[in-house]
Amino acid sequence: MAFKRTVEEQDLPYEYILAGSIYQARNILENEDFDMVVCDFSLGDGTLFDILDEMVTKGIPIIVTTGAGDEETAVKAIKGGADDYLIKDVERNYLKMLGTTIDKAINNKNINLARQHMEASLRLSEEKFSKAFRCNPDPITISDLIGGYYVEVNDAFFEIFGYEPDEVIGHSVTELGIWLVPEERDEIIEEIKEQGSIRNREIKFRSKYGEIMTGLLSAEIIDVEGDPHLLCGSKDITEQKKADEEIKYLSFNDKLTGLYNRAFFEEELKRIDTQRQLPISLIMGDVNGLKLINDALGHHEGDKLLIKVAQILRKACRQEDIVARWGGDEFIILLPECDRAAATRVVEQIKSLCKHMDDLPIQISLSLGLAIKNCMAQDTKDVIKEAEDRMYRNKLLESRSTRSSFIISLEKTLRTRSHETKEHCHRMQKMAQKIGNAIELLDSELDKLKLLAMLHDIGKIAIPNSILDKPGKLTPEEWESIKKHPEIGYRIALCSPELAPIAEAILNHHERWDGTGYPLGLRGENIPLISRIIAIADTHDVMLNGRPYQKAVSQEVALGEIERCAGTQFDPKLAKIFLDLKD
């Protein structure tokens, strides 16, 4: 079943029949022809060795799968005629090699068939040899052993390497530069002289157009009209090699950040955890504000933040340090032969780099924890736990400062991304406070009003500048995007204890008294009071000072508009108080 699942998951181009016992296998082999047999050592009614001789006699390539630690059985099977073997492991990584192993065995079979056909052709007729040689799907070449001049090349070679026949026949290996490392051909010839042949040697080739390809090369020396020649057959495994390297990379690295993953880190920690590497420092880091960015700006912006953090950690560390993504928004750094003073400098360097990274919507902030292993008696797990505990302790101690920096960062970003200038916000604050005092708001509500005046449009940091700065009329799609900013601002505010009290007011600051506003369509006194105040102060200041999409008007016109919209856009009582204040 593991074989079947692997073929389907890897989309391997094989047709197959499964047999669960020696009895079934014998019946199938008697009635069907196969290119390959993949056989487990343990079968339902016996073992591999009960049927191995019968399969070898039929000339079918055989791949044996056996348990980890049972290499002796695999070697015995190879000596008995099997072509290759795979050692099973708990993670079933051996199944990832199944396609390559089958291709190798079939390639060997093709080479053997090509050689057999060629020898038969030389003995019997040139016509039969030519047919077997040229119809092989893999590149096969015959070249002069000493000079390396090509005398025969099959059609598959021309197709894969891009040459025309007259560009190859009579030309040397060196002249064409097909072998990426020309010396490898000489080395292979020497090995063949000692061993008789080589099988499935991984070699780099170069096509006519300079493309580097990987092939599994099998070769031996043959006699052509009394002169020694090199017969080579190669299986193009370039794409398979890329896929294998990708699988290997992903098994060691975090796909998003490119840092090592937790599994690799834990294995490296075992390797490094020796007396020679002491003292070993461990730094744990937690990214502040990731949830905020994910909720407010989308996970793609959160991913950008994680990538930036990864770049900072790499830059702050030495080449020999192991930097890994521990999981989610947490990172871990392993620093061998690094005492507390040196590790502390790394921590300070990380903090400094975070402060100077200003190309994200909010300032990058990391809570860091450091722990040192000074002797082998210390359990590494305890050291990691100590670093983690210190990280969380620092997160709590720094939380107020972090939140303050967060609010400052939001304000700075808002000024950069929108037209909410500091002067506009201060004028709004001043006007809103006058209205608040006139209706005798409590001091706590006045504080909320001042904060709302500064950050009511904070959701605009997620709106593209192309929309915010557009001087002309917005399209319906652009207007829908603009109308999302109260909801985005609401989610941002909920992420900060300092802003949470004004979250509802941010959400509702574009609601209208008559219920035709957005996003919820609230009407009348269902709209928070401070949202109704900000609506008047904001509209008045924008009319007086203008926007790229709206020219400034006179005080008389602005006040007339407030009066006209009282009872529709604005709370009529608050509008009258505002107008009285202006009088």
Find the CATH number of the domain harbouring 333.
3.30.70.270
Evaluate if residue 92 carries a pLDDT over 80.
no
Q: 247 in a domain, yes or no? A: no
pLDDT score recorded for residue 134: 73
Evaluate if residue 281 carries a pLDDT over 90.
yes
Bridge partners (DSSP) of residue 284 are 332, 369
The total domain count for the chain is 4
Residue range 259-276: mean pLDDT, rounded: 90
Please check whether residues 227 and 138 belong to one and the same domain: yes
Q: 173 in a domain, yes or no? A: yes
CATH of the domain at 533: 1.10.3210.10
Please check whether residues 362 and 436 belong to one and the same domain: no
DSSP annotation string for 502-518: GHHHHHTTT--TTS--S
Please check whether residues 423 and 537 belong to one and the same domain: yes
DSSP annotation string for 347-387: HHHHHHHHHT--SSSS--EEEEEEEEE-STTS-HHHHHHHH
Which of 108-117, 180-189, 235-244 is the least confident region?
A: 108-117
Please check whether residues 487 and 577 belong to one and the same domain: yes
Residue range 118-145: mean pLDDT, rounded: 71
Which one, of 249, 368, 354, 360, lies nearest residue 303 by Cα?
360
Please check whether residues 231 and 316 belong to one and the same domain: no
> 219 or 8, which is more confident?
219
Assess contact for 460 and 420: CB atoms under 8 A.
yes
Q: What is the mean pLDDT of the chain?
A: 84
CATH of the domain at 183: 3.30.450.20
- pLDDT-above-90 percentage for the chain: 33
- Which of these three, 241, 266, 296, is where a domain ends? 241
Pairing of strands 330-335, 322-327: antiparallel
Report the number of secondary-structure helices (H) and strands (E) in the chain. 25, 14
Please check whether residues 285 and 375 belong to one and the same domain: yes
Please check whether residues 268 and 232 belong to one and the same domain: no
Question: pLDDT band at 526, cuts 50/70/90?
Answer: very high
Gap between the Cα atoms of 539 and 545, Å rounded: 10
Gap between the Cα atoms of 28 and 22, Å rounded: 10
Residue 455 is encoded by which pair of tokens?
């950050």
Evaluate if residue 555 carries a pLDDT over 80.
yes
Please check whether residues 394 and 294 belong to one and the same domain: yes
User: What amino acid occupies position 486?
Assistant: P
User: What amino acid occupies position 412?
Assistant: K
* Residue 329 φ then ψ, to 5°: -105, 20
Which one, of 575, 573, 457, lies nearest residue 509 by Cα?
457
Evaluate if residue 560 carries a pLDDT over 80.
yes
Evaluate if residue 122 carries a pLDDT over 60.
no
Evaluate if residue 421 carries a pLDDT over 90.
no
What residues contact residue 96 under an 8 Å CB cut-off, 6+ apart?
10, 244, 247
pLDDT score recorded for residue 75: 81
* Residue 284 φ then ψ, to 5°: -105, 140
Residue range 32-42: mean pLDDT, rounded: 82
Domain coverage including residue 23? 2-88
Please check whether residues 15 and 83 belong to one and the same domain: yes
pLDDT score recorded for residue 549: 65
Gap between the Cα atoms of 406 and 411, Å rounded: 9
> 549 or 337, which is more confident?
337
Pairing of strands 62-66, 37-40: parallel
Bridge partners (DSSP) of residue 441 are none
Please check whether residues 55 and 179 belong to one and the same domain: no
pLDDT score recorded for residue 15: 81
Q: 121 in a domain, yes or no? A: no
pLDDT score recorded for residue 360: 65
Q: 125 in a domain, yes or no? A: no
Assess contact for 113 and 121: CB atoms under 8 A.
no
Gap between the Cα atoms of 14 and 162, Å rounded: 28
Question: pLDDT band at 119, cuts 50/70/90?
Answer: low
User: What amino acid occupies position 239?
Assistant: E
DSSP H or E segment with residue 38: strand 37-40
pLDDT score recorded for residue 93: 65
Assess contact for 76 and 53: CB atoms under 8 A.
no
Assess contact for 368 and 394: CB atoms under 8 A.
yes
| DSSP state letter for 202 | E
Please check whether residues 457 and 561 belong to one and the same domain: yes
Question: pLDDT band at 39, cuts 50/70/90?
Answer: confident
Residue 257 is encoded by which pair of tokens?
């950040």
Gap between the Cα atoms of 509 and 69, Å rounded: 70
Q: 111 in a domain, yes or no? A: no
pLDDT single digits (tens) 466-482: 887 777 788 889 889 88
Question: pLDDT band at 89, cuts 50/70/90?
Answer: low
pLDDT single digits (tens) 199-256: 889 999 999 989 999 899 999 998 888 889 999 988 888 888 887 777 777 778 888 9
pLDDT score recorded for residue 24: 86
- Which of these three, 183, 212, 241, is where a domain ends? 241
CA 128 to each of CA 111, 222, 394: distance values in angstroms, whole numbers, following the listed order:
16, 17, 80
> 249 or 104, which is more confident?
104
pLDDT score recorded for residue 408: 67
pLDDT score recorded for residue 331: 96
Which of 59-68, 146-155, 163-172, 186-195 is the least confident region?
A: 59-68
Highest mean pLDDT among 11-25, 124-138, 190-204: 190-204
- Which of these three, 196, 216, 241, is where a domain ends? 241
* Residue 522 φ then ψ, to 5°: -70, 155
Residue listed under structure tokens 């031996």:
220
Q: 151 in a domain, yes or no? A: yes
CA atoms within 13 A on the CB side of 85: 25
Question: pLDDT band at 57, cuts 50/70/90?
Answer: confident
Q: 436 in a domain, yes or no? A: yes
Please check whether residues 470 and 574 belong to one and the same domain: yes
DSSP annotation string for 104-173: HHHHHHHHHHHHHHHHHHHHS-HHHHHHHHHT-SS-EEEEETTT-BEEEE-HHHHHHH---HHHHTT-BH
Residue range 278-303: mean pLDDT, rounded: 84
pLDDT score recorded for residue 129: 59
pLDDT single digits (tens) 345-357: 999 999 999 888 7
Q: 106 in a domain, yes or no? A: no
- Rounded to an integer, what is the distance from CA 462 to the centroid of its chain? 24
pLDDT score recorded for residue 320: 92
Vertex 243 angle, CA 262 and 137, to 5°: 160
pLDDT score recorded for residue 377: 92
